[in-house]
Chain A
Amino acid sequence: MAVNRTAQSLILVLLGVAVLRIGVTDQYLRYVKEGLRPFLLAAGLLLLVTAVATWRHREHEHEHGHGHRVAWLLALPALVLLVLAPPPLGSGAVNQAGTAIDGRSAADFPALPDGDPVPVTMLDYAARAVFDQGGSLHGRRVRLTGFLATGPAGEPLLVRMMLTCCASDARPVKIGLRGRVPALPPDTWLEVTGTRLPETATDEVNGQTIPFLHIESARQVPAPPNAYE
């Protein structure tokens, strides 16, 4: 069905409101990088302005034929955002992509800051555990935050997704778990304290190395506002 001028304005309002709503709350962090926020807010406002201008000038133009049928589709992401607000990517997306690890040389691994346990990011832990052969991790207890997932063979993993721009380019950082692994369902967020194990596994998706962690203690935590790293 063709979309008349008033319906066009309404669709633009719907999309503008959806974009603004996730932009003013922390919800946008489920889908895109932090840095996109000002652009999302600006785009949401401009969509509303375009909608108002469309509606105000609706009697000035003489439309030939019908409006843009495909414009209906713009209501779909707006409705998904307003009605469902899907959660950040979780355990369901873990086995789809290979583990992320950035190749660095030993010189890129300065000593960890003081503290016991010392909080490190999942990516930093994975890179140090694999490429630094654990040099800077030797004798240190670390604290990591991620969610539980299971690998292809059902083995427990601690995972954190990394984003570059948006969730469609998300890459998981996977860490194999040993020791006192809590028996909790996938997607449970944990803060774990533990030490590096020399054991590694190979991710069958991209052939990269998955390091392991021996868990001393784990505590269930609420999902952080930004699920990604």
Chain B
Amino acid sequence: MKPAATLPARPRRLGSVEVLAAILLLALLSRGELAGLLDQPEVRTWLTMFVSIVLQAVPFLVLGVLLSAAITVFVPAGFFARALPGHPALAVPAAAAAGVVLPGCECGSVPVAGALVRRGVTPAAALAFLLSAPAINPVVLIATAVAFPAEPLMVLARGVASLVVAVLMGWLWLRLGRTEWIKLPRRPELTGLARWPAFWASARHDLLPAGGFLVLGGALAATLNVLVPARWTQAVADQPVLSVLALGVLAVLLSMCSEADAFVAASLTQFSLTARLAFLVVGPMVDLKLFAMQTGTFGRSFAIRFAPATFVVAVLVAAGTGALVWGWP
């Protein structure tokens, strides 16, 4: 390591370290006033939900970021191009099916999909992987089976519908998607670096924006958890079309981890199985937390197109699958 004296002299202005130190000091000094926030039941509930969402996601985020750094640094450039079918239209279903191997929730799959794009995987295939991985991996499917003991077809319906949505979205991207919509965050020059410095630099460059946006999404989701009472959805429970849409929207707003959403879906007993399937198909693919993270990893112009399109396709496929499996009401 170089001695500190060779570092470039910093301009004499308020740097981010000083600001951070000031925030810390302020937080510690006003500890008593801040603790008063906990007397408000809504604020208390919000704070607990907010840190819970972030904590639940952090291990998956760290895992996803390290995996993505490993892909970026240690996997040879042409590997994925050789492993996937050469034709993009075939690479999409192959990548979607490969989602089975990433056991975790959606927070981990965003940085991994970003790394796949950097590593030369066609965006359509990487996006199919991004959508399918959190929905069809064994952990999530087993959780679904446990949550719906009386309805074994739910596992099958969820797996198939999620896979179909992932493949359709991949193909849709092939037809309509534009490369310039995807703006991966600027990277430092990794090429000149030794492997391990490059690994950590890559991990940090994924972790900071994805983590920051995760916090933003977690704050939004906690707010909606506190403000939107579950009874609002009750009003539409017996309307076949509206209820499917309502649970799709609820999945977006609640931003639940894909390993937990089946238990919540199982408790929404006043809704049809098809509506609950929509909740399970939409949740891992489009939600507030995920939208924020996609904005951080792929850029805003990507996220504002991709998330709504995915929502529409997911609701339609879930409704169709539900009608096939359980019949149209």
B148-203, CB < 8 A from A: 150, 185-186, 188-189, 193, 196-197, 200-201, 203
Q: Which residues of A contact B66 (CB under 8 A)?
A: 46
A74-B208 contact given A7-B15, A169-B260, CB 8 Å threshold: yes
Q: Is A157 an interface residue (CB 8 A)?
A: no
Q: How far is the CB of A223 from chain B (nearest CB, A)?
A: 14
B116-150, CB < 8 A from A: 143, 150
Q: Please name the residue on chain B nearest to A96 by beta carbon.
A: B229
Q: Please name the residue on chain B nearest to A44 by beta carbon.
A: B58
Q: Is the CB of A72 within 8 A of B15?
A: no
Q: Is the CB of A70 within 8 A of B209?
A: yes
Which of A64, A89, A92, A204 is packed against the most chain B CB atoms within 10 Å? A92
Q: Is the CB of B212 within 8 A of A70?
A: yes
Q: Is the CB of B231 within 8 A of A61?
A: no
Of B24, B44, B63, B216, which is within 8 A of A73 by CB?
B216
Q: Is the CB of B264 within 8 A of A57?
A: no
Q: Is A106 an interface residue (CB 8 A)?
A: no
Q: Which residues of B contact A91 (CB under 8 A)?
A: 41
A73-94, CB < 8 A from B: 73-77, 79-81, 83-84, 86-93
Of B49, B59, B201, which is within 8 A of A61 by CB?
B201
Q: Which residues of A contact B45 (CB under 8 A)?
A: 89, 92-93, 96
Q: Which residues of B contact A188 (CB under 8 A)?
A: none
Q: Is the CB of A207 within 8 A of B208?
A: no
Q: Which residues of B contact A67 (CB under 8 A)?
A: 16, 208
Q: Is the CB of B51 within 8 A of A31?
A: yes
Q: Is B325 an interface residue (CB 8 A)?
A: no
Q: Is the CB of A208 within 8 A of B269?
A: yes
Of B50, B205, B229, B266, which is within 8 A of A77 by CB?
B50
Q: Is the CB of A168 within 8 A of B208?
A: no
C-alpha gap A87/B209 in the complex (Å)? 28
Q: Which residues of A contact B261 (CB under 8 A)?
A: 169
Give A residues with C-beta under 8 Å from B: 1-4, 6-8, 10-12, 14-15, 19, 22, 28, 30-32, 36, 39-40, 42-43, 46-47, 50, 53-54, 56-57, 59-65, 67-77, 79-81, 83-84, 86-93, 95-98, 100, 102-103, 164-169, 171, 204-208
Give B residues with C-beta under 8 Å from A: 1-2, 6-7, 15-17, 19-20, 23-24, 27-28, 31, 34-35, 37-38, 41-42, 44-45, 47-56, 58-59, 61-63, 66, 143, 150, 185-186, 188-189, 193, 196-197, 200-201, 203-205, 207-209, 211-213, 215-216, 218-219, 221-222, 225-226, 229-231, 234, 254-257, 259-261, 263-264, 266-270, 296
Not counting A164-B143, A206-B268, a sample of 10 additional A-B residue pairs whose C-beta atoms are within 8 angstroms of each other reads: A43-B58, A43-B59, A54-B204, A60-B193, A61-B201, A70-B296, A77-B218, A95-B229, A169-B257, A169-B260
Residue pairs across A and B with Cβ atoms less than 8 A apart, 29 shown, are A8-B208, A11-B208, A30-B48, A31-B51, A36-B55, A39-B59, A43-B59, A47-B58, A56-B1, A68-B185, A70-B296, A72-B212, A74-B215, A81-B51, A83-B28, A88-B48, A89-B48, A92-B42, A95-B229, A96-B45, A97-B230, A164-B260, A167-B52, A168-B221, A168-B255, A169-B260, A171-B264, A171-B267, A206-B230
